[in-house]
């Protein structure tokens, strides 16, 4: 994939992710084919874990999944894949194992954005295009975060 197309795809994916986290639904900013495929079951499992007040067993996650019922073994496979990706942790004590998300939904989104930047040959281009395609509310949020960071960096330490 040429670098410019990779950058566009990454930007498209990040813009859609940020918008989805803000609104709860994916906008039609980009063509769906440009967005990297993600495993729907893994996303659904993470959603259940993020909404849970505490760790859950695979069976509990399976029962809480919206839509089509899933076998606990299928959910266990998704949980193990998420564990290998560093997105969930499994309790060491007792059986059945209890699972929880490593961070919040927002932390996972920030990590995904940072992954896109790390994978880019031209981080400046990615950031410039992201800002160019972001809506006014997102730009204001970015400006506020940058002002806060500048204020922290200028304080004597």
pLDDT in tens, 81-103: 999 988 899 998 888 899 999 98
Would residue 19 count as lying in a domain? yes
Query: What average pLDDT does this structure show over 121-133?
Result: 91
Q: Does the N-terminal peptide bond of residue 96 adopt cis geometry, omega within 30 degrees of 0?
A: yes
55 with 74, same domain: the answer is yes
Domain match, 19 and 62 both: no
Is 106 inside any structural domain?
no
Of 81 and 33, more confident: 81
pTM of the model: 0.62
Residue 110 lies in a domain: no
Residues 32 and 76 occupy one common structural domain? no
Tell me, yes or no, whether 57 lies in a domain: yes
Cα–Cα distance measured from residue 146 to residue 140, given in angstroms and rounded to the nearest whole number: 10
Domain check: are 46 and 88 in the same one?
yes
* Claim to verify: residue 84 and residue 127 sit in the same structural domain: no
Mean pLDDT of 119-143: 91
Is a pLDDT exceeding 70 seen at residue 38? no
Question: What percent of the chain lies above the pLDDT cut of 90?
Answer: 43
Is the domain of 88 the same as that of 133?
no
Does some domain include residue 108? no
Q: Is residue 112 part of a domain?
A: no
pLDDT at 110 > cutoff 50: yes
Question: According to the model, what pLDDT value does residue 20 have?
Answer: 57
Task: Give the range of the structural domain holding residue 135, as residue numbers without chain letter.
Answer: 3-36+122-154
């Amino acid at each position: 994939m040429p670098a410019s197309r990779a950058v566009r795809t990454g930007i498209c994916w990040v813009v859609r992710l940020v918008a989805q986290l803000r609104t709860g639904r994916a906008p039609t900013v980009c063509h769906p084919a440009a967005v990297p495929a993600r495993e729907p079951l893994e996303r659904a499992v993470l959603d259940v874990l993020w909404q849970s007040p505490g760790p859950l067993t695979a069976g509990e996650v399976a029962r809480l999944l919206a839509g089509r019922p899933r076998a606990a073994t299928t959910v266990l496979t998704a949980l193990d894949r998420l564990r290998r990706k560093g997105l969930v942790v499994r309790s060491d004590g007792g059986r059945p194992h209890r699972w929880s998300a490593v961070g919040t939904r927002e932390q996972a989104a920030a990590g995904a954005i940072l992954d896109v930047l790390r994978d880019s040959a031209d981080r400046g281009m990615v950031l410039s295009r992201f800002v160019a395609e972001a809506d006014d509310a997102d730009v204001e949020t970015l400006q506020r975060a940058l002002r806060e960071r500048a204020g922290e960096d200028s304080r004597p330490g």
